Amino acid sequence: MDNLTMDLVQLCRRNRDGSYGTQKNRQRGLTAIAGELDSLGYKLPSTRSIKPKHVAALIEKWQGSDLDDATIRNRLTWLRWWAEKVDKRSVISRDNADYGVAARTGADINRAKTFKLEKYRKIPCAHIRAAILLQASFGLRREEAMKFRPDVALRNDHIALKASWTKGGRPRTIPITTDMQRRVLQRVSRVAKGGSLIPANLTYAEQLKRYEYQTLNAGMRNTHGFRHAYAQHRYEALTGMQCPLNGGKRWQEMTAQERQADRAARRQISGELGHGRLEVTDTYLGRALS
């Protein structure tokens, strides 16, 4: 058991708020969060070491894993409890909406992020800039973009992601449909120089921490939002309509032809994003059936 996990267990034992079940779930959840921080390269020596950057890294990871808002809300509740008990409430916002997490009302939140050139230019590392371009242009997860190797992935009309780069070890292909995507791939190839977008002298964990530091400093929090924007742009390109989350029609408002186009687009986008379930597209596009 590492120092942070041990400290969290002791914190939970000293502060027995709530029912027995609540206490057990909280302790189990917080020790799991300690493991996630460790996997992200953050070895916190104690519970008092938590900072806003750690919260941001966790939320990016959870949203990158496409966890639903209810699950993320529960985890944020545990983080706030932790922060309160060590008198560091300011490390985490009281408003879930600040992190793109919907309230309990069931209302959808559009997590899509607009690419801001002025923020992008503030990032000093060429490898990180190239990874962000891949996220915005192809809807890649952060890890996929960082591990992307142009010399392996590039094809004439698509990119092919290897299983070792992707969540769950599922290889997939994403079509190249625009001139902008081709220009991005040319730039990425120049930066990678036959390798990935992790500099040869760094590990993935080391580059991830640099990525988080530089994007936060540039005001580019939650780059996973570019994946949502990609899905919405693809939906419009495939259907000629805005998605429901962007003010488009709900299922009951669509014609039979529009419903057919909606289903086909969702299947295509689900595959491009690397998901096996069509329902996951509700997070990106809105619930057409509600």
Residue range 180-190, pLDDT digits in tens: 999 999 999 99
Asked if residue 165 lies in contact with residue 144, where contact means CB atoms within 8 angstroms, the answer is: yes
Kindly report, residue by residue over 11-59, the tens digit of the pLDDT: 999 999 999 999 999 999 999 999 999 988 899 999 999 999 999 889 9
Last residue of a domain, one of 167, 187, 217: 217
Identify the CATH number of the domain in which residue 203 sits: 1.10.443.10
Same domain, 133 and 213: yes
- Residue 260, domain member (yes or no): no
- Residue 223, domain member (yes or no): no
Last residue of a domain, one of 158, 183, 217: 217
Q: List helix spans (H) across the chain.
A: 3-14, 20-39, 52-64, 69-85, 117-120, 126-138, 142-147, 150-153, 179-192, 204-217, 225-239, 256-273, 281-285
| Res 170 pLDDT > 60 | yes
Distance CA 90, CA 83 (A): 8
Same domain, 65 and 133: no
- Residue 156, domain member (yes or no): yes
* pLDDT computed for residue 109 by the predictor: 82
Distance CA 80, CA 70 (A): 15
- Residue 192, domain member (yes or no): yes
Residue-range definition of the domain harbouring residue 55: 3-99
- Residue 111, domain member (yes or no): no
- Residue 119, domain member (yes or no): no
Same domain, 19 and 73: yes
Last residue of a domain, one of 217, 239, 274: 217
- Residue 257, domain member (yes or no): no
Structural domains in the chain (count): 2
Q: Which of 101, 98, 181 is closest to 134 using CA atoms? A: 181
